[in-house]
Amino acid sequence: MPLSKYVRSTGLAGAAAPLLSACEGPQSALDPAGSAAALIARLWWPTLFVAALVTLLVLTLLAVAVLRARRKQAALPLNARQSRNLMIAGGILLPLAATIPFALSSFSIGRVIEAPVPDDAMTVEVIGKQWWWEVHYLDETGERIATTANEIHVPVGEPVRFLLKSDNVIHSFWVPNLKGKTDMMPGRTNVTAMTADEPGVYRGQCAEYCGTQHALMAFLLVAEAPEAFDAWLEGQRRSAMEPETGAQAQGRDVFLDAGCAGCHTIRGTPADGDLGPDLTHLAGRRTLAGATVPNRIGHLGGWITDPQHVKPGSRMPPSDLTPEELKTLLDYLESLE
Amino acid sequence: MTLETPATPHDRIDSAEQATQLERTWHSPGGLLGWFTHVNQRMIGKRFIITAFIFFLLAGILGILIRLQLAGPEQQFIGPELYNQFFTMHGTVMMFFFAIPVMEGFAIYFVPLMVGTRDMAFPRLNAFGYYVYLIGGIVLFGSLLLSMAPNAGWFNYVPLSSKLYSPGYGVDVWTTMITFIEVSALTAAVELIVTTLRMRAPGMSLNRMPLFVWAALVMSFMIVFAMPAVIVSSTLLILDRLVDTQFFIVEGGGEPLLWQHLFWYFGHPEVYIILVPALGMISTIIITFTRRPIYGYTALVLSVVAIGFVSFGLWVHHMFTTGLPQLGMSFFTAASVTIAIPSGVQIFCWIASLWGARIRFATPMLWVLGFFAIFVIGGLTGVMVASIPFDTQVHDTFFLVAHFHYVLIGGAVFPLIGATYYWWPKITGRMMSETAGKWSFWLAFIGFNVTFFPMHQLGLEGMPRRIYTYVEEMGWGDLNLLATIGSLVLATGFGVTLINAIWSVLRGRRAEPNPWGAPTLEWAADSPPASYNFRHIPVVESRWPLWDWEQAGERAVVTGLRHDRREVVLTSVLDAKPVGVQVLPAPTIWPFVSAVAASMGFIGIIFHPIFFVIAFFLVAFTLVAWFWPRRPWRDD
């Protein structure tokens, strides 16, 4: 259960500022596992320090100005020259001193982050759907060699190019631990590239409001050693396992007869619907319903029976299978490693 | 027209029956039917303010409901459909139906008073603008009650807001209501510009105008230049939805990014349209409660003008993640951080003015000091998100939610509440309770920070905006709960002010004409002002006319205006030299009827195009009645 590795961060309650030290997490911009996110996090900490300093300075000046007035003896107001100097120092020089270095470092970081990746980098095509992610792995010629959903595997240490598309509304592809977000604009292909430097399971989430279930449109990004990745991709390229038991074969028939195949594809069977996620290797995935619930048999049964309970507004209709049919169907789906 | 210096004001110049006649001339008819005929700027301004605060209350309740739903992970309190309507309405109403109208309302009420005239330049247009706004707001909230409210966000991005992905009437209602607000805001803006430039009291040259009037003037020009962009975009969208044009439809060769450009070309100036008048309010309050001329009048004016100009060059910083070219976007980074300079100049001018002054810590001053603490933080996070790489991480997350609530609540609502306490005695003739005011401030200040400060961290931890729930494993629950608790405290703080206001109207101590010892002309009128504002139009010789009169013990006024019709003095644009007299129109029902006719067309078109044709002719008919010439022999 990979979600259990998610570290809970705690914010210190109270009017005092929550300390921004405990920012670890599977979806935290300040817990970088990739060079782009690391650069941005490195920009953030000094920026926060300077911002805190400026805030302190301005509020201290204000407090001094105000508190002097509370003393009984008449405090001396600033004369015109002092006022002018204060205004120029605080209103012009201070913002310039704070913002120019910030803007310049921001430009240079931007150049590094957006530097082009080598042409032979692995290419993954991600298509934003309402409300899930369709993932295609492409070969050198741009042909799709494997299709999955809501779970993207990448080899650690190698740059991966993502072609971001949408055939419906605008979504935004975002894995905070690795890099900032890039929108998926209908009618365009935006490209982003990222490298995972540390193995782990990271969570990505749609960042552009895209309708009813925008909130539960997430995915996992699994960064693993290159050998493990190659083995995984090889597995994804294959067609679905043939049923091994009678129950599984019955389950496959239920799948084909109950209308599931109208939306879902299981390669190697007649099921070739393209409205919902490809289920060829469903059992190998860690989560269901856009990284909303863990992929366990109980959750899977609940999801098939009543998707609207898990994700109200989801495009998947509830099913009216008999308990027996559901059991065999689950048997079959559980076998699709 | 002559200038006189009466030892005892008024009576040397005109008799009691002339004063009665003046009162009759400017009187607004009573009764229910009479209510719809009012055109006096104070009536209309007050309605704008009250209506806007009612919308603030309603949208604030929506905000609380949003916070309750997010208080913990996977809560079932509000479902996604309703939640999406709620956050769309919260944003739309706060921006379009509260912030802009309330600032316009204060400007409509106080600009004529502050420049020393008796009404707005176009009183009937003023009334028309209010009714359009009122009808728009009522229809929008009606749609929420009917559960067909817009649900595509206040930014209403296409293609989500296209017919295909948002069937039903919600987005149609949104688009149409935005048109209403555009019309209303534009009418207010042109009137404020003309009133400010041509109706100032003799002697009030541009460099003697109160800073709030300057701010209102800049706001009005910004409205005039920003609103057309959103008028175009909302019109194109309504055409896409109703008659199948393809402006934003990719398959038809349209371009979704066009919507974002048009919307933000308006949307970014929009937030400064809200901020700029608040800056004027802060200057006004600081002058009064330090009891001395403000330092850097010219610098403050130039800063406000600079903010107005620069704000039109920032809109792309809302679109850093859309895949636009890096180099082009870099210019918008530079422009965005530029805003820090005029803002900084303002803040340090105020600090210089406060330095060593005998400050009276009345409630309005407290809200202004609260503004400083919050606005500085909001401004700094604003500089941060101007960075493209950093913005790719925090764009559309709760960090952004925190940022703009810091600048909008801290930068606009706090000064606005301060200004409400400050001008309350002028509007109502009664004082508000200082004790309750201070309680209200501290509750709101603490509640605000507890609500929105944790959101910075939530955003950095990856919590996106506009989500109705989140899974427990994300670990966002604690900070969200904290924010929800804070929001209840914040709401209590505003609630105390509301109770204070109601109590004041019923039981408050009567206010003198100038309870705070302020220097600007609105305090020369009675509290509340008479229907003609000033029995004699004042003559101004400096920036601080009331302080001058206090020292001199006498004042100059304009004489010779007739009492039997609505006359105001017109003055030259730069030096405010008297150049003529303008007769203003009397109360009439036609602006209301016209607004109803126009609304019928705009709302009807959602259901059938024929309504547009019908309303077109109806509006033409009402305009004829509205502009029916006055019989010349009555105006001998």
Question: How far does B484 lie from chain A, in Å, by closest CA?
Answer: 12
Nearest partner of B277 among B53, B434, B110, judged by Cα: B110
- For every residue of A15-50, DSSP letters joined together read SSPPPTT---STT-TTS--BHHHHHHHHHHHHHHHH
Cβ separation of B479 and A11 shorter than 8 Å?
A: yes
Nearest residue of A to residue B455 by CA position? A18
pLDDT score for A74: 57
Of B323, B346, B465, the CB nearest to A188: B323
Cα of A333 vs its chain's centroid, Å: 26
A chain contacts of residue B466, beta-carbon cutoff 8 Å: 209, 214-215
Q: Which among B247, B331, B392 is the top mutation candidate for probing chain A, defined by the most A β-carbons within 10 Å of its own β-carbon? A: B392
Does residue B192 surpass a pLDDT of 80?
A: yes
Residue B92, class by beta-carbon neighbours within 10 Å (0-12 exposed, 13-18 middle, 19+ buried)? buried
Of A105, A107, A111, A117, nearest to A195 (Cα)? A117
Name residue A126's beta-bridge partners: A135, A164
A256: nearest Cα among A325, A314, A305, A318: A325
Q: Map tokens 């083995």 to a residue.
A: A231
Distance between CA atoms of B402 and B77, rounded to whole angstroms?
23
A75 has a chain B CB within 8 A of its CB: yes
Q: Which of B356, B389, B393 sits opposite A68 (nearest CB)?
A: B356
pLDDT in tens, B588-631: 999 999 999 999 998 898 888 899 899 999 999 999 999 988 76
pLDDT of residue B609: 85
Inter-chain residue contact B478 with A216, CB threshold 8 Å? no
Tell me how close the Cα of A64 comes to any Cα of chain B, in angstroms.
8
Residues of B in contact with A39 (CB under 8 A): 389
The pLDDT of residue A22 is above 70: no
Contact assignment for A114 to B326 by CB distance below 8 Å? yes
B486 vs B8, more confident? B486
What digits encode the pLDDT tens for the residues B34-68?
Answer: 999 999 999 999 999 999 999 999 999 999 999 99
pLDDT in tens, B95-146: 999 999 999 999 999 999 999 999 999 999 999 999 999 999 999 999 998 8
pLDDT range class, residue B632, cuts 50, 70, 90: low
How is residue B264 written in tokens? Answer: 């933000």
Which position has the higher pLDDT, A73 or B585?
B585
Chain B residue with Cα closest to A62: B351
Structure tokens at B434: 């200082």
User: What confidence tier does A26 reach under pLDDT thresholds 50, 70, 90?
Assistant: confident
Counting one residue from A and one from B, how many pairs have CB atoms under 8 Å apart? 287
Residue of B nearest to A209 (CA): B466
- B453 contacts on A by Cβ (under 8 Å): 17-18
Q: Which residue of B has its CA nearest to A113?
A: B389
pLDDT of residue B30: 87
Mean pLDDT score across all residues of chain A: 89
Contact B299 A87 (CB under 8 A): yes
Contact B159 A168 (CB under 8 A): yes
* Contact residues on chain A for B152, CB-CB shorter than 8 A: 209
Q: Which of B160, B345, B347 sits opposite A169 (nearest CB)?
A: B160
B352: which chain A residues are within 8 Å (Cβ-Cβ)?
Answer: 78, 82-83, 86-87
3-state secondary structure of B580: strand
CA separation for the pair B166, B176 (Å, rounded): 15
Q: Beta strands A133-138 and A144-149: pairing type?
A: antiparallel
Contact A19, A45 (CB under 8 A): no
Chain A hits for B322, Cβ within 8 Å: 183, 185, 190
Structure confidence at residue A2 as a pLDDT band (50, 70, 90):
very low
Alpha helices in A23-132 (DSSP H): 35-70, 80-87, 94-113
To the nearest whole angstrom, how far is the Cα of A133 from the nearest Cα of chain B? 17
Chosen for mutation from A1, A43, A50, A66 (greatest number of chain B CBs closer than 10 Å) is A66
Residues of A in contact with B66 (CB under 8 A): none
Q: Contact at 8 Å (CB) between B451 and B486?
A: yes
CA-CA distances (angstroms) from residue A2 to A127, A282, B604? Answer: 24, 16, 54
The shortest CB-CB distance from A186 to any of B250, B330, B473 is to B250
- Nearest CB to A29 within list B333, B337, B460: B460
Q: Which residue among B346, B466, B475 sits closest to A25, beta carbon to beta carbon?
A: B475
Of A39, A185, A206, Cβ closest to residue B257: A185
Question: Model confidence over A91-143: pLDDT tens digits?
Answer: 999 999 999 999 999 999 999 999 888 988 999 999 999 999 999 999 999 99
Q: Which residues from chain B sit within 8 angstroms of residue A8, using beta carbons?
A: 475
Confidence of residue B321 (pLDDT cuts 50, 70, 90): very high
Partner-chain contact A313 B81, CB within 8 Å? yes
What is the CA B565 to chain-centroid distance, rounded?
31
DSSP-derived secondary structure for B451-504:
HHHHHHHHHHTT-BSS-S---GGG--HHHHHHHHHHHHHHHHHHHHHHHHHHHH
Residues of A in contact with B460 (CB under 8 A): 20, 23, 28-30, 44
